[in-house]
Structure 1
Amino acid sequence: MIKEQISVFDIFKIGIGPSSSHTLGPWRAAQQFTASLNQQGLIDRVETIKILLYGSLAKTGKGHGTDVAILLGLSGADPVTFDVDAVTPTFEAIQKERKLKLAGDLEIDFDYENDLLFLFAESLPFHPNAVTFQAFLSNGKAFSETYYSIGGGFVVKEGEDNSQKPQVDLPFPVEKAKELLHWCLSTGLKVSEIVLENELAWRPEAETKMRILQHFAVMRDCIYRGCHTTGFLPGGLNVARRAFPLNKRLMAKSEYQDYTSWVEAIRKGGNGFNYILDWVSCFALAVNEENASFGRVVTAPTNGAAGVIPAVLQYFITFCDGYEEDKIIQFIACASEVGSIFKKGATISAAMGGCQAEIGVSSAMAAAALTECLGGSQRQVLMAAEIAMEHHLGLTCDPIGGLVQIPCIERNTMGAIKAITASQLALQSNPDKAKVSLDAVVNTMWETALDMNAKYKETSDGGLATNIPISLPEC
């Protein structure tokens, strides 16, 4: 069996919120379906399209913008470049006009109520996040494909597997943490250096570093935008944005014009425990409030957990003098390897493993990256990841109203703080005496995921989602 090969840009993807599994993944699936129609020479023959959403995609699809993402994907829009301010108007126009421009070109009839079906009681066996596209052609025939959004924006077409992806010759293949540690100790390389060596199998080093910095720019801009945007989040829960007033209170009378001067003003504001704690929370809140508002974020490794890594990275930049390109690249590269290990050995999909698979994994990634950037050894890096995940085991996914808002946004602040704490614990510990390995925690997380009741896996069928009375507007 060919082992899965995961790049830094598989773990970190630029996209639009609010969910990597339920927004970005279905968006990519819709794009792949239109590409299949093109490859088969069928796109000009399409008269109508039906979309069938199964399982978790059906149950929380509207709250997570699955319907929005699919229609934009079928329309030829790309989540990396599409204007986030045009998301809602474009979706509403398709509903109102009952027309869809397939691949941005062929206009076909599309009735939202009858052509996009939420099959709440049906699930497909391979994965809870399933969508089937049916194109009905002018010759009376139909063309159909089913896709699975397996977490973190990853998409698998039915009948395909990872062995069909192009393989490269990685100098340091890694499936488990013990293999990563072996390569680190035998070569003397840091985790981030192992990652950058492997990335050379896909592209030149300069390109990898440039793209990592592009991803950082999206994180940076997302934090800054979230801290300077007021109002309420969409969806009907009437959740007020908190990053804006928190930023305003913490900045007091400080003056700044842009991100760089803002960071400098924060630095000058102090370094007390409560002050730093508030800022880490503010950074995380900012990202996930943007995510909840169809803003542009970086999956890290998912959208629901997109605030943890940017918040910890921003903490490192602001309070640990880490605003250097090489340090930022090191941070993101190291984090990606830990995310890759969790994806290979367990899951990064809340629909498969609950929120431990999202917030837990992102916290482990951030803890590892921070530890390496603060001078920790390779063993301490893995220890930090283990500590962070150990204290997220069993965390359920129970979004109120199917929206990535309550408790999702606050959980990012918790994940960020736990990552920093885990890093400090690892840096002050002797990893040779650790009782629990990262691989043991990955295995435990997967066993916990398998044992977890389905109602706690991104279905809004249990937990807070059923214990908090709400009244959402009709969709």
Structure 2
Amino acid sequence: MAKESISIFDMFKIGIGPSSSHTLGPWRAAQRFIDVLKNREALYAVEGINILLYGSLAKTGVGHGTDIAVLLGLSGDDPVTFDVYQVMPKVDTIKNSGEITLGATHRIPFSYKNDLSFLYSESLPFHPNAVTFQAFLKDGTAISETYYSIGGGFVVQEEDAEGALSEIDLPFPVDTAQELMVWCMRTGLKISELVMENELAWRKEEVTREGVLQIFHTLKDCIYKGCHTTGVLPGGLHVERRAAKMNKRLLQGREYLDYESWINAIRTGGKEFAYILDWVSCFALSVNEENASFGRVVTAPTNGASGVIPAVLQYYITFHDSFQDDKIIQFIATASEIGSIFKKGATISAAMGGCQAEIGVSSAMAAGALTECLGGSQRQVLMAAEIAMEHHLGLTCDPIGGLVQIPCIERNTMGAVKAITAAQLALNSNPDKAKVSLDAVVSTMWDTAQDMNVKYKETADGGLAIKVPLSLPEC
């Protein structure tokens, strides 16, 4: 069986919130369907279109913006470049006009009420996140394709699931933590260095570095914007944004003009434990409040968990005086390798594994990355990742109202703090005496995912989603 080759840019994707599996994935699926129509020279023969959302995509689709995503994807818009301020205006135009322009060139009638179906009681066996597109042509025939959003913005079709895996031969192929450790021992390379060597199979080093720094710029812009935006999150839960208020309170009137001077203003406040802890929470909140508002975010490795890694990276930059391109690239490269091990050995989809597959994985990624950047050995990196995930095992996904807000936003703060704690524990421990390996915890996570009741897997059918009345405040 061919190994799955996963790049940094597979684990970290720039897009629009609030969910990688329910927003970014369906958006990409819609784009793929438009490509199918173009390749078959059938786009301009389309008279009508139906969209069928199954399983988790149906049950939490509205709260996660799945309907919005597929409409924008069919319209030819791209989540990396589309103006986030035009998301709702464009969708409202489609709904009110009764028309959609496929691939930005072919206008057809479209009824949001009749042509977009949420099949709440139906689920396809291959994966809970399924969407079918049906295009009806002028000659009376139809073209139908079904796509599965398997987490982190990854999209596959059942018949090409195996073929969707990259067939690129990497110099250091890795499926497990043990294999990663063997390569590190043989070469003497750090995990981040090994990752960068593998990336050469796809592109030149300078292109990879440029792409990783673009990811970082998106992350920092998201943090900075989130820390300076007030208001109430959309969706009907009336959750008030907190990051901006925390930012203002913590800075105590210190002035700044931009991101760089903002960092200096934060550093001026000192390194008292409670102060740093508040900032880590503020960083995480800022990202996920942006995510919940259909803002520009990066899957890390998912949208629902997109605040953990940026928060820990921002902590490292701010409180360890490490605002350097090389250290940022090192952090992101290491995190990507940890994430890929979880994707290959378990899942990064909450619809498959609950929130342990999102917050748990992101916390493990951040813990391992921070450990390497703070001088930890390869084995300490893997130990930190294991510690972080071990204490997220069994975490359910039970979003209130199907929105990526409660408990999702606060869980990112918890995941970030656990990542920092895990890194510190690993740096002060001897990995030779560790009782649990990273591979063991990955396997356990997958076993737990399979045993977990489906109502705790991003369906809003259990847990807080049914225990908390929608009229109650978050705290």
Shorter-chain-normalised TM-score: which range?
Answer: over 0.9
Match of 1:193 in 2: 193
Question: How far did 1:162 drift?
Answer: 3.2
Match of 2:65 in 1: 65
Question: 2-side partners of 1:444 and 1:168: how far apart?
Answer: 29
Question: 2-side partners of 1:350 and 1:470: how far apart?
Answer: 22
Question: 2-side partners of 1:165 and 1:4: how far apart?
Answer: 5
Match of 1:117 in 2: 117
Match of 2:160 in 1: 160
Match of 2:211 in 1: 211
Question: 2-side partners of 1:193 and 1:293: how far apart?
Answer: 36
Question: 1-side partners of 2:356 and 2:99: how far apart?
Answer: 40
The yes-or-no answer on 1:408 pairing with 2:408 is yes
Superimposed CA distance per residue, residues 417-463 of structure 1 (whole angstroms, 9 cap, x where no aligned partner)? 00000000000000011000000000000000000000000000000
Counterpart secondary structure, 1:100: strand
Question: 2-side partners of 1:377 and 1:185: how far apart?
Answer: 11
Match of 2:24 in 1: 24
Question: 2-side partners of 1:469 and 1:171: how far apart?
Answer: 53
Match of 1:351 in 2: 351
8 Å contact from structure 1 (residues 2, 163) kept in 2: no
Question: 2-side partners of 1:343 and 1:97: how far apart?
Answer: 41
Counterpart secondary structure, 1:133: strand
Question: 2-side partners of 1:190 and 1:164: how far apart?
Answer: 29
8 Å contact from structure 2 (residues 3, 173) kept in 1: no
Match of 2:424 in 1: 424
Match of 1:438 in 2: 438
Match of 1:399 in 2: 399
Question: How far did 1:167 drift?
Answer: 1.5
Question: 1-side partners of 2:412 and 2:212: how far apart?
Answer: 22
The yes-or-no answer on 1:468 pairing with 2:462 is no
Question: 1-side partners of 2:84 and 2:460: how far apart?
Answer: 26
Question: How far did 1:166 drift?
Answer: 4.7
Superimposed CA distance per residue, residues 108-141 of structure 1 (whole angstroms, 9 cap, x where no aligned partner)? 0000000000000000000000000000000000
Question: How far did 1:158 drift?
Answer: 2.9
Counterpart secondary structure, 2:130: strand
The yes-or-no answer on 1:276 pairing with 2:276 is yes
Question: How far did 1:400 drift?
Answer: 0.1
Superimposed CA distance per residue, residues 31-88 of structure 1 (whole angstroms, 9 cap, x where no aligned partner)? 0000000001100100110000000000000000000000000000000000000001
Judging changes above 3 Å, is the alpha-carbon distance between structure 1 residues 392 and 249 closer, same or farther for their aligned structure 2 residues? same
The alignment covers a number of residue pairs equal to 472
Question: 2-side partners of 1:231 and 1:222: how far apart?
Answer: 16
Match of 1:286 in 2: 286
Match of 1:376 in 2: 376
Question: 2-side partners of 1:411 and 1:185: how far apart?
Answer: 35
Match of 1:238 in 2: 238
Match of 1:297 in 2: 297
The yes-or-no answer on 1:141 pairing with 2:141 is yes
Question: 2-side partners of 1:93 and 1:411: how far apart?
Answer: 35
8 Å contact from structure 2 (residues 18, 65) kept in 1: yes
Question: 2-side partners of 1:101 and 1:416: how far apart?
Answer: 42
8 Å contact from structure 2 (residues 156, 164) kept in 1: no
Match of 1:176 in 2: 176
Question: 1-side partners of 2:349 and 2:446: how far apart?
Answer: 11
| 1:324-335 aligned within 5 A | 324-335=324-335
Counterpart secondary structure, 1:162: coil
Question: 2-side partners of 1:5 and 1:170: how far apart?
Answer: 7
8 Å contact from structure 2 (residues 128, 351) kept in 1: yes
8 Å contact from structure 1 (residues 27, 69) kept in 2: yes
| One-letter identity of the residue aligned with 1:241 | R
Consecutive unaligned residues of structure 1, counting only runs of 5 or more, are none
| One-letter identity of the residue aligned with 2:326 | D
Question: 1-side partners of 2:470 and 2:385: how far apart?
Answer: 36
8 Å contact from structure 1 (residues 152, 299) kept in 2: yes
**Bigger mean CA deviation after superposition, 150-159 or 400-409:** 150-159
Question: 2-side partners of 1:174 and 1:85: how far apart?
Answer: 40
| One-letter identity of the residue aligned with 1:43 | L
Question: 1-side partners of 2:168 and 2:6: how far apart?
Answer: 10
Match of 1:261 in 2: 261
Judging changes above 3 Å, is the alpha-carbon distance between structure 1 residues 4 and 458 closer, same or farther for their aligned structure 2 residues? same
| One-letter identity of the residue aligned with 2:51 | I
8 Å contact from structure 2 (residues 399, 458) kept in 1: yes
8 Å contact from structure 2 (residues 14, 218) kept in 1: yes
Taking structure 1 as the reference length, what is the TM-score of the superposition? Answer: 0.99
| One-letter identity of the residue aligned with 2:299 | T
Question: 2-side partners of 1:164 and 1:107: how far apart?
Answer: 31
Question: How far did 1:185 drift?
Answer: 1.0
Question: How far did 1:4 drift?
Answer: 1.1
Superimposed CA distance per residue, residues 373-392 of structure 1 (whole angstroms, 9 cap, x where no aligned partner)? 00000000000000000000
Question: 2-side partners of 1:91 and 1:402: how far apart?
Answer: 20
Match of 2:249 in 1: 249
4+ aligned runs moved over 2 Å, structure 1: 162-166
| 1:39-58 aligned within 5 A | 39-58=39-58
Counterpart secondary structure, 2:406: coil
| One-letter identity of the residue aligned with 1:127 | H
8 Å contact from structure 1 (residues 353, 449) kept in 2: yes
